[in-house]
Amino acid sequence: MALKNCVECGKAVSDQAMFCPHCGYVLKKNGKGFGVVSLILGIFACIFTVGYCIVVLEGSIILSGPMIYVMLFSSLSTTFSLLSLKRNKSNNTAVSGLILGITAISFSLLCTIKLFV
């Protein structure tokens, strides 16, 4: 455990501390919360994408229901992923959520194109 100086008050603080015990300055931000949310939303987006693609490939023309959920969950997943990655660049959970969100959007758009072609 090494010591470093707090940016705010200049006193010695552990390099593993999340905040300065003297002045309360936040030294490290924990960005895993957004990563977990983005992963969960990405999983929901993929589930709705599979349902949407099955409906489209069977020939039923129902765009409103599942497509709205796909776009909603995919958009939220990618947004939370980018927020989490902005805070903590090495957040693997956020990267997974980002990949799932983009995958869901891509497959839903491919199914929509297949419907109109």
pTM over 0.75: no
Q: How many CA atoms lie within 13 A of 115 on its CB side?
A: 19
Question: Tens of pLDDT along 26-45?
Answer: 877 655 677 788 888 888 88
Question: Tens of pLDDT along 69-80?
Answer: 777 888 888 888
43: phi then psi, degrees, rounded to nearest 5: -65, -45
Q: How many CA atoms lie within 13 A of 30 on its CB side?
A: 7
Q: What is the largest CA-CA distance in the chain?
A: 68
Distance CA 99, CA 3 (A): 37
Distance CA 91, CA 50 (A): 26
